Amino acid sequence: MTRTPAFDYHARTAQAPTFPKMLRLNAREHGSEVALREKDYGLWKLVTWEQYHARTRDFALGMVELGLGKGDVVSIIGDNRPDWVAAEIATHAIGAMSLGLYRDVLEDEAAYLLSYGVAKLVFAEDEEQIDKLLSLGERASNVRHIVYSDPRGMRKYDDPRLMTADKLAEMGRARAAREPALYDQLVDATGENDVAILCTTSGTTANPKLAMLSGGAVLRHCATYLTFDPKGPDDEYVSVLPLPWIMEQIYALGMGLLSRMKVNFVEEPETMMNDFREIAPTFVLFAPRVWESLAAEVRARVMDSSALKQGLYGLGMKAGLAALAQGKQSAVADTLLFRALRDRLGFTRLRSAATGGAALGPDTFKFFRAMGVPLRTLYGQTELLGAYTLHREDNVDPDTTGVPMSDQIEIRVDNPDVNGVGEIVVRHPNMFLGYYKNPEASVADMRDGWMLSGDAGYFNDNKQLVVIDRIKDLAQTSQGDRFSPQYIENKLKFSPYVAEAVVLGDGRDKLAAMICIRFSIVSKWAEKNRIAFTTYTDLASRPEVYELLHKEVQAVNATLPPAQRISKFLLLYKELDADDGELTRTRKVRRSVINEKYADIINAIYSDQTEIKVDTVIRFQDGTTQRIRTTLPVIDLVGRAAATQAAE
């Protein structure tokens, strides 16, 4: 059932069109209501709107006391915490720009972003991030102050730039005592069209561009989104996706401020699902990799269960998927299976759920829809302030990304081929202001006010947008058969045993795949089957594991047209890693890096070799290295099939 908007979001935005103004308005009108929660030492700590506003005010005036102001850049790095969002809004309040860094950012990328943005102050959560920042030395000489929230392990440092967040807040309170009207004056001066956020793009280049976003544009776009998919003060959201990502900026900050839904922060990434279940949120946004991981975990648990439970699971899934195909929910499946699964996952109160940031395979999508999770797909780009298409609640097609959220969002497909597939281009009233210090790139990605997405897609007969793949990633075999590597990779990743996959075949006669096993699940499977192993590399090389994955690849091939079937595959000796440049921070495959880094392996796959010798060194995030010497068997599915037929 479609929800009614909690209030007029656009009117509310007009009343307070910047983050600091919206926070101040909420504190004045709803000061005693809960705005945030944080799990700390096993207990949920409540933060009211008044407390949220006070912490933000103290941070802002503390930064003014340190000499920061309009036009400066303040960076933030760490886990999602109340101090992160307070620091970001405080930055905007003094007219400065916030630059979020991913908590697992490598030193080289951190040095580049901090020096490129000329960040004068960095909010860092804890010792781990302090170590990273101090190790940059002269590569980030512009950083004058480093403010940290967690004091554990910090006594050994004596760098004069270090300061606790509480000390900064104390300085702010002292400044407020001397100038009581200063903070309101600063907030009043914030402009809705001023650059407030420098948001890193998730492209496939080594150094990300910084999209300039205004606070007013973010809030206005959130008002459009909320009108399409309403949220209100009775909604609960758990913030688990990285705050530097545009969609978490939209949800934890923009929507949190505008709709006043409660934003919850988990204690640690490792406790995420337990904390999630305690809150039982009404809305959830997960990246595809999280949905894939949850589906894999469920299926792995079933494989470890009794024959009776496996049978009930099979019956429940069959009934659930059959009902879903008819646009219904199965009461039998809900009783047998899904009610308990939703409870285990913390999905008992979900009214809305979304996936975005990359493509989610239709099999995984249907798995959760059959379970009764109201999952929908959103689509967008950082430059367009995140999502601008979404499924309507009553018209969800797993093969599409839905429809524009508003009539003001214009989407067209340029240069379509005979099948209507072309480049998706978009414009709407609330777009980015260009790339920071990079006007050339800003001009290159825009045409007469339209943003070139770089994605290939088309509109289906129901006027829903279908996104196929990045244009540069669309491939064609030497026989002229076109295919989307991403589509096939997503089908492979529905297997609980597959963590990542890279499909090859552009310009080749046949398709092949390099597969990364999902170590947490394959290792359990190996232990259960008494297969000895020592490391990821060792496990991935076991004949029994190859046979297991062979069956999974065959199952995927059975669902594909002959020209798009995988003819050969191997199991890679390591997981693909964003730290190695192989994936973006939002887990998109960087194909150019893969093609260059694994060129010898790829060429060997397409030769007549049945195995590939590997002798290489991998480097870990802490700087240590490990030499890997192994042999990768190449499984020829076509040859196996021919041999089987000959034997018969």
Q: Which helix (H) or strand (E) holds 325?
A: helix 307-325
Percentage of the residues of the chain whose pLDDT score is greater than 90: 76
Q: Residue 572 and residue 560: Cα distance in Å, rounded?
A: 23
On the question of a common fold for 9-278 and 284-428+436-472, the answer reads: yes
Percentage of the residues of the chain whose pLDDT score is greater than 70: 97
> Does residue 647 have a pLDDT over 70?
no
Is residue 183 very low, low, confident or very high in pLDDT (cuts 50, 70, 90)?
very high
Q: Residue 138 and residue 368: Cα distance in Å, rounded?
A: 49
HSE-up of residue 607 (Cα within 13 Å, Cβ side): 11
The better pLDDT of the pair 26, 359 is held by 26
Residues 363, 365, 366, 367: is their CA dihedral positive or negative? positive
Confidence at residue 1, expressed as pLDDT on a 0 to 100 scale: 54
The better pLDDT of the pair 60, 646 is held by 60
Confidence at residue 473, expressed as pLDDT on a 0 to 100 scale: 87
Tally: H helices and E strands in the chain: 25, 29
Q: Residue 319 and residue 332: Cα distance in Å, rounded?
A: 7
> Does residue 205 have a pLDDT over 60?
no
Q: Residue 394 and residue 396: Cα distance in Å, rounded?
A: 6
**Which of 376, 14, 327, 346 lies closest to 229 in space, CA to CA?**
376
**Which of 445, 17, 435, 6 lies closest to 218 in space, CA to CA?**
17
119-128, 257-266, 574-583: least confident range: 574-583
> Does residue 85 have a pLDDT over 50?
yes
Three-state SS sequence of 202-223: CCCCCCCCEEEEEHHHHHHHHH
Long-range contacts of 312-319 (CB under 8 A, 24+ apart): 312/336, 312/337, 313/337, 317/367, 317/370
Instruction: Name the CATH architecture for the domain at 9-278.
Output: 3-Layer(aba) Sandwich (3.40)
Q: Residue 376 and residue 571: Cα distance in Å, rounded?
A: 32
Strands 566-571 and 635-636: antiparallel
Task: Mention every residue, 6+ apart, whose C-beta is less than 8 A from residue 127.
Answer: 148, 150, 152, 153, 154
Tokens of 468: 């196929």
> Does residue 642 have a pLDDT over 60?
no
Query: CA angle, 357 as apex, 352 and 341 as ends, to 5°?
Result: 40
- 């090859």: which residue's tokens? 504
Q: Residue 298 and residue 27: Cα distance in Å, rounded?
A: 42
DSSP E strands, 309-409 = 352-355, 375-381, 386-390, 403-404
Confidence at residue 216, expressed as pLDDT on a 0 to 100 scale: 98
- Per-domain residue ranges for the chain? 9-278, 284-428+436-472, 474-647
| Contact indicator for 420, 458 with CB cutoff of 8 Å | yes
Is residue 555 very low, low, confident or very high in pLDDT (cuts 50, 70, 90)?
very high
Cα 406 to Cα 36, 232, 287, 422, 431, distances in angstroms: 29, 19, 23, 22, 14
Q: Residue 303 and residue 306: Cα distance in Å, rounded?
A: 8
Position 472, amino acid = K
- What does the pLDDT average to over 362-367? 89
Confidence at residue 578, expressed as pLDDT on a 0 to 100 scale: 79
- What does the pLDDT average to over 228-255? 96
Residues forming a β-bridge with 410: 427
Q: Domain spanning 474-647: which superfamily? A: ANL, C-terminal domain (3.30.300.30)
Confidence at residue 632, expressed as pLDDT on a 0 to 100 scale: 94
CB atoms within 10 A of CB 594: 19
Q: Is 594 helix (H, G, I), strand (E, B) or coil?
A: helix
> Does residue 148 have a pLDDT over 70?
yes
Confidence at residue 640, expressed as pLDDT on a 0 to 100 scale: 62
> Does residue 541 have a pLDDT over 90?
yes
Confidence at residue 616, expressed as pLDDT on a 0 to 100 scale: 87
**Which of 314, 294, 293, 292 lies closest to 303 in space, CA to CA?**
314
Confidence at residue 92, expressed as pLDDT on a 0 to 100 scale: 98
Q: For the domain made up of 284-428+436-472, give the CATH fold.
A: Rossmann fold (3.40.50)
- What does the pLDDT average to over 540-548? 96
Q: Is 187 helix (H, G, I), strand (E, B) or coil?
A: helix
| pTM for this entry | 0.88
- For 589-610, how does the pLDDT look when each residue is reduced to its tens digit (9 = 90+)? 888 899 999 999 999 999 989 9
Q: Residue 413 and residue 415: Cα distance in Å, rounded?
A: 7
> Does residue 552 have a pLDDT over 60?
yes
Is residue 203 very low, low, confident or very high in pLDDT (cuts 50, 70, 90)?
low
Residues 67, 68, 74, 77: is their CA dihedral positive or negative? positive
Is residue 646 very low, low, confident or very high in pLDDT (cuts 50, 70, 90)?
very low
Is residue 639 very low, low, confident or very high in pLDDT (cuts 50, 70, 90)?
low
Confidence at residue 428, expressed as pLDDT on a 0 to 100 scale: 97
Is residue 357 very low, low, confident or very high in pLDDT (cuts 50, 70, 90)?
confident
- For 385-435, how does the pLDDT look when each residue is reduced to its tens digit (9 = 90+)? 999 999 999 999 988 999 999 999 999 999 988 888 899 999 999 999 999
Is residue 206 very low, low, confident or very high in pLDDT (cuts 50, 70, 90)?
low
| DSSP label of 559 | T
Is residue 219 very low, low, confident or very high in pLDDT (cuts 50, 70, 90)?
very high
Cα 190 to Cα 204, 259, 312, 340, distances in angstroms: 34, 21, 59, 49
Average pLDDT of the chain, as a whole number: 92
27-31, 270-274, 391-395, 585-589: least confident range: 585-589
| Contact indicator for 312, 335 with CB cutoff of 8 Å | no
